[in-house]
Structure 1
Amino acid sequence: MLRRPACEPCRKSKLACDHGLPVCSRCSTSGAICIYRTTPFKRKRVGSPAKSGLHSRDSSPSLGARRPPYPNPGFLGSSSHAAIFKHITPDGDHGSTAHASDLAWSATQPQVAGDNHLMSQGADILKQLLTSYSLAAMKDLVMFWLLKGANLALAEPFVAQCAKSVSHLFTTQDENWNLVYARHLFQNTAQPLVFDADSDIHSFSAQFLAHNSRWETIAIFFAAVSRATIDTSFFPSLYATEEEQYPLRRLAMKLCDFALEISLSLDCLNDLQLIVQYENFIVHSYVDGDQSYHAWRKLGDVISSTFALGYHENLETKPGIPPFLIELRKTAFARIYSADKNIAIFLGRPPRMNKRFCHFQIPSCRTIIDDSTETHHDVNHWEPDSQAGYRADTRWSALCAFLKEEIWELLQDKHHASCSQRARLLLLHSLTEPDMAIIETAGQMLALVVEIILLRDQLTNSGTGLIWKVAHYGLPAAGIILLSMLNPRTMSQTGSSRTKTLQGLSVFVAEVQIGTIVRPGDPNYALLSKATQTIQRFLDSFHAEPTPHQQHQKQYQHPPPRDVAPHHDEASDDWAAFLEQDTWDFEAGFWQSLADHPSLLALDPDVPSL
């Protein structure tokens, strides 16, 4: 009689197993993850401990796997080689339908050594994390975070389900349990996500939950864990201090990284992987900082995947796509498009998603679950019953990003004859001499940023945290205001508005200096502290008695007599020329050069520049 192995949950519980595949009856009832060991009856060989390492044949289960016979081409446009040959052989395969069959054909093919090593590393990080922190406590942290109204902006519909699935996933932790589960997750990850025009979000998500959990499921959960530690300063079952909080945040991000890389190693992009790529980029922007190269590279990766999947095309023209998935893909496009413009402007670098090569599309304000079969939404129409939420934020930020790209293009062509005819906004001819329209807008932006700083405890994370909003909106606004006040020709504000602006700047500086929104060691601390030091010097100079240098400058605030040549301040001209090197770069270089303004140096000539 053939001896049949029991699954791991039944074996550990010492209960009878009916050996059902893929899930036994007991695990199906209890909800446990049903896993069968690769070599259940093989006895351990007694030998040297040195031979029982991670890659020992006797001790570690096979991470065996599958690899498509050739790379998955993804989306291939009208100018591609596939489109050309399609006209030659109309019945031939042009690359977009071969993915599922390639995956099935290669189910028995050996995995390359590089992928095997990658999965072994992921298994090690998984073991390190789960032996250091309670999985149940991490699940409780995520659920507590969700109850506060926060969520992952793109993975929002799946976070709670992924958290529950992962919390029931690792039922056994005997020797090499991490490798056993790594193989199980990988085998699930290699399965294509199937759907048709009648599929709903529940049948779609069932393919990566519970028994079907994949590495992407792990990635979404631990992205949520990392993000939850940022918004939850005290969770005693996991951490009580910042020193205990930070290692969990980094380790969760690291496991999210490996889970994503393992998924991408299969070279079979899908909707779930794109979601994970976006959320992984957001986690890196939080943990590494908005000016970090890691975050910049992660954003480039998710943009590349967007184009590879063809989500820059008109999604409503694709046949066989269910309405909820069209909305999910529109949401992904909108958030990635918006992130590209925000980061490009913040860092002063070229955007990487050009609207000329994209079909601009944004989701409706309804939740994905509530979406009807009607998916044709006017991008400029705002539904009157829309409520504040991640979908509404996605629509609004994408619409703003569209305008930002148009303004960006105008800036590049501002010396062209047709530029003034295309402009809808006042052109900023010189950064050192901003126009009143720009100054008034900056004042409104600063007031909003100060308001959210003061109300931070009553706000819910909208996908981009408070520090992101301060850095991306507060710093540019404060910079424009300082430039206007340092230039006598633009200091035409009324007394009340000037007083309000100075109060806003004072609150902004105080909140940063006392450490309520950013602290030493945080990724954006260096940028914010440098900026606030410059603002503080400006405030000190504004309230201080005028120095001889400032008295000299005041003599020439009004036009001099006709027979007197205008005063020429070489120091100011040198500073202005240096600042004009990059109009939109509000990073550290902007604040460093602003700190060298002659008016601020005149306050205390002995104070070195930042």
Structure 2
Amino acid sequence: MARLQGPHEGHYARSPLHPDSQRSGHVDGLPVNPGAGEDSSASSLPRHYPNPGYLGMSSHSTIFNQVFSSTTPHGVAAQQDVQPSAPPISPALNDSIQDLTILEKGLFALNRLDQLEIPKLACLVQSWLERGVNLPLAGLFVPQCLTAVANWSNLPKPPWNSEDYRIDTRHRFRVLLENTRKVIAIRQDSTFELFLGQTLGENLRLEALGIFLTAAARATLDTCYFPPLFSADRQRRELIKDISLIGDWCLETCLALDCLNDLQLVLQYENFILHSQVDGDQSYHSWRRMGDVASSLFALGYHERIDEGVHNIPTFLAELRRACFARIYAADKSLAIFLGRPPRIVKDYCFLQLPAYPGITTDEYAASSDNVTQSIRSETHWGISNGNNDFPQPINYTADTRCSALFASLKEEVLLMFRKRHLNEIERISELRSRVVKQWQELPTHFRLPSSLKDCDGSQFERDFLAGTRLDYLHILLLLGLVSQKRASELDESLLEVAGEMLSITVEVIILRDRLVNSGTSLIWKVAQYGLPAAGIVSLALLHPISADCRPFPRSKMLQDLSTLVAEISIGAWIQAGEPNFALFTRATQTIRSLLDSLTAWKPHTELCNSHQNENTDLTEDWNAFIDSQPWEFEMDFWANLAEHPTLIG
């Protein structure tokens, strides 16, 4: 029986090294480290090392293991039977500073948790789930964690703040620690229910508790009014901080125990997303947590190829690991672009992989395809659609994971081009733009926003997905346009067109926010990542129009979108002072407002009047806006008459 184990458990860790894990060849036309050839000396079996975490081909342990395999008869076969033992679980914490710190924080966190109204929080999360929203990566575990934590909180407890309560709290904390230290045993025929059985109920772990708290915080973020818990923004923000604080303690305790596993990686990612929404995308807390997630991804070896047969794991766990890689990889690129910092995960060192759609097996998909070489699995085809409609890909979080990771790979190449702008790689830019457009066209038709968002007939989730996917695609084109620009005042027509569409979609998303639900990225993130750059390009175009040779751009539409963006932010319709990214939006809107004031300031048309001075001393003296209208009527006749004003004709 293979085990899912942390990097220090039993002083051994598995490495998923095998010939396929070498990043040679191509994946869906994408070159992946073409210089790395397959090493025939690498074993296709899992390896166990007396060092923490994943160790790759360059590590000393790999070299010594090859020496051992060459000098020991049947050495490789003997390794297959080696199973690392679980670390011994002590019934009590030691008196070390680290253990005492964990104990003190744990008792404090459980005390705060008991003061929360868990049944009401569970109702909030349940209503949140019923709206079609979930945690994008941990969504598979949220309903079960919800039930388990609710049952755990309903267990009888002594009166609060009594001596018996403190004893009971210490006991519950030790049980949580012991459960969290246990290795989650898994073999290839293990079921999802067996996996859950080792994390919930009597085996409730801190990871499961943390996932519930993360879902509760996200549900509170997405719910403006829930009288059982809060009825004002101040109460809601305080509740979010309390829940986030306890959730952080769950994750930090897991990290301190040094028992890295799949569930902990899932919690790390969701905790990072939560902090980006609580602290803001510019916060160092969010940036640091992204680094922690990337470190855990590499330590677990999930940047390498994930193979069920080689690693002796069930399919559901392999798909979870692929989803972990895809979402973390995409999040790393998005944050790197937003902050202008280097990405932490570079695909030259990774095996690019995507999760399969739930309910559609690879065999079924390949058998019904005209091209049997294409597969829904990323190892053979790192794409989205193969033109087959027998198994239409559903719009869900898996679709969002696949699309975002696919575009993230292209964004990484654009980031590299920003570092080499002095080379002026015109051909390279053109080639990459063609690949971006081709990838968009290869998406399933129902993944592409057909028209205005308000005209879409899908669910709230689907509309948000369509808008987010379109914005993600346009964002790459915008970045490519910025790379090719020599001067900010010389805007390309295609760049301005992309920016205008991005701004229009962002404004429409803001206006229709009550008809959308989070399909993978929040409204605040959409405005920050896509809306503000687009608004910046549009503002530059209004200040420095494109050349006369280009066709006129829709100036009125751009002014309208900018005005709407400023108005929605200024009046606090969807974001208020004290919320994440508010300071960023405030600075941007102040600049846009100044631009709008300068562009829309009233100026007398003296030149126009002087040119007709001999014929008419005043072009407007015979014009009356209220001809045949009452002063209080502002209907069709008024606007038709206003359109005939001499300064508006033409």
- TM interval, shorter chain, is 0.7 to 0.9
Distance 1:213 1:341 in 2: 34
**Contact 1:323–1:372 (8 Å) recurs in 2:** no
Matched, 1:126 2:117: no
**Contact 2:54–2:301 (8 Å) recurs in 1:** yes
TM-score (structure 1 length as normaliser): 0.74
1:157 alignment partner, SS class = coil
How many Å apart are 1:435 and its aligned residue?
A: 1.7
Q: How does 1:95-114 map to 2 (within 5 A)?
A: 101-105=84-88, 107=90, 111=94, 112-114=96-98
- Equivalent of residue 85 in structure 1, options 42, 50, 64: 64
- Equivalent of residue 414 in structure 1, options 394, 410, 421: 421
How many Å apart are 1:421 and its aligned residue?
A: 3.8
Structure 1 unpaired stretches of 5+: 1-65, 552-610
Structure 2 unpaired stretches of 5+: 1-7, 13-49, 159-164, 365-375, 434-480, 608-650
Q: How does 1:157-556 map to 2 (within 5 A)?
A: 157-170=140-153, 171-174=155-158, 175-176=165-166, 177-316=168-307, 318-364=310-356, 366-367=357-358, 376-377=377-378, 378-382=381-385, 384=389, 385-416=392-423, 420-421=427-428, 423-424=430-431, 425=433, 427-490=484-547, 497-545=554-602
**Contact 1:68–1:267 (8 Å) recurs in 2:** no
Q: String of CA shifts for 1:268-297, please: whole Å, max 9, x gaps.
A: 211100000000001100110000000000
How many Å apart are 1:228 and its aligned residue?
A: 0.7
Q: String of CA shifts for 1:402-447, please: whole Å, max 9, x gaps.
A: 1111111122123337663464335233344332221111111111
How many Å apart are 1:209 and its aligned residue?
A: 1.5
**Structure 1 residues 539 and 329, CA, compared in 2 at 3 Å: closer, same or farther?**
same
2:554 alignment partner, SS class = helix
**Structure 1 residues 490 and 506, CA, compared in 2 at 3 Å: closer, same or farther?**
farther
2:137 alignment partner, SS class = coil
1:89 alignment partner, SS class = helix
How many Å apart are 1:115 and its aligned residue?
A: 3.0
How many Å apart are 1:98 and its aligned residue?
A: 12
Q: How does 1:22-41 map to 2 (within 5 A)?
A: none
Distance 1:313 1:165 in 2: 33
Equivalent position of 1:567 in the other structure: none
Distance 1:455 1:97 in 2: 57
Distance 1:499 1:118 in 2: 60
How many Å apart are 1:163 and its aligned residue?
A: 0.7
**Contact 1:67–1:109 (8 Å) recurs in 2:** no
How many Å apart are 1:343 and its aligned residue?
A: 0.6
Equivalent position of 1:144 in the other structure: 127
Q: String of CA shifts for 1:558-601, please: whole Å, max 9, x gaps.
A: xxxxxxxxxxxxxxxxxxxxxxxxxxxxxxxxxxxxxxxxxxxx
Distance 2:126 2:360 in 1: 22
**Contact 2:354–2:377 (8 Å) recurs in 1:** no
Bigger shift: residues 120-129 or 442-451: 120-129
**Contact 1:485–1:491 (8 Å) recurs in 2:** no
Q: String of CA shifts for 1:528-584, please: whole Å, max 9, x gaps.
A: 01101111111111112469xxx9xxxxxxxxxxxxxxxxxxxxxxxxxxxxxxxxx
**Structure 1 residues 231 and 109, CA, compared in 2 at 3 Å: closer, same or farther?**
closer
**Contact 1:410–1:423 (8 Å) recurs in 2:** no
User: How large is the Cα RMSD of the aligned pairs?
Assistant: 2.8
Bigger shift: residues 519-528 or 200-209: 200-209
How many Å apart are 1:253 and its aligned residue?
A: 0.7
Distance 1:141 1:446 in 2: 33
**Structure 1 residues 435 and 496, CA, compared in 2 at 3 Å: closer, same or farther?**
closer
- Equivalent of residue 156 in structure 1, options 128, 139, 146: 139
Distance 1:141 1:459 in 2: 18
Distance 1:203 1:373 in 2: 25
Task: List structure 1 segments (4+ residues) > 6 angstroms apart after TM superposition.
Answer: 96-100, 372-375
**Structure 1 residues 534 and 100, CA, compared in 2 at 3 Å: closer, same or farther?**
farther
TM-score (structure 2 length as normaliser): 0.69
Q: String of CA shifts for 1:274-333, please: whole Å, max 9, x gaps.
A: 000000001100110000000000000000100111111111374312111111111111
2:539 alignment partner, SS class = helix
Distance 1:143 1:283 in 2: 18
**Structure 1 residues 89 and 100, CA, compared in 2 at 3 Å: closer, same or farther?**
closer
- Give the percent of matched residue pairs that are identical in Structure 1 and Structure 2: 42
**Contact 1:433–1:483 (8 Å) recurs in 2:** no
Distance 1:84 1:190 in 2: 31
Distance 1:98 1:276 in 2: 31
Distance 2:570 2:203 in 1: 49
Distance 1:298 1:242 in 2: 26
> Which amino acid is the alignment partner of residue 272 of structure 1?
L
**Structure 1 residues 74 and 477, CA, compared in 2 at 3 Å: closer, same or farther?**
same
Distance 1:264 1:373 in 2: 39
Equivalent position of 1:74 in the other structure: 53
